[in-house]
Every structure is written in structure tokens, then in C-alpha cells.
Amino acid sequence: MQRILSFYKNIALDLFSMMKGFTYGFFIFGLFMVILAGLLYGILFLKNIIL
């Protein structure tokens, strides 16, 4: 019985860590896209001002 409870506890902890990793990756990817879009906007804006 203890092995079965330990097995389900490990599955629950693995699922929780997978969800945590997914949300962390989603936020990091979103932050990367915002930074990339800001850089692209800034470069094009400065290029438009200079020319």
C-alpha cells in the first residue's frame, strides 16, 4: 500500500513540476518576444529618423 501511495505522490509531483516548467517557459518566451519586438521597433524607428 505504501508503494502505491508513493507512486501516485511521485506522479502528482511530476505533473506539478511539468506545469510549473511549462508556465515558466511560456513567460520566458513571451518576455523574449516582447524584447525582440521592442528592439525591432526601436531599430526601425531610429532608421526612419536618421533617413
- Residue-wise pLDDT tens digits, 29-43: 999 999 999 999 999
Which long-range CB contacts under 8 A does 16-20 form with residues at least 24 apart?
none
pTM above the 0.75 mark? no
What is the grid cell recorded at 19? 506545469
Mapping DSSP onto H, E and C, the string for 23-39 reads HHHHHHHHHHHHHHHHH
**CA atoms of 31 and 24, how far apart (whole Å):** 11
What's the pLDDT band for 47 if we cut at 50, 70, 90? confident
Q: Is the pLDDT of residue 14 over 90?
A: yes
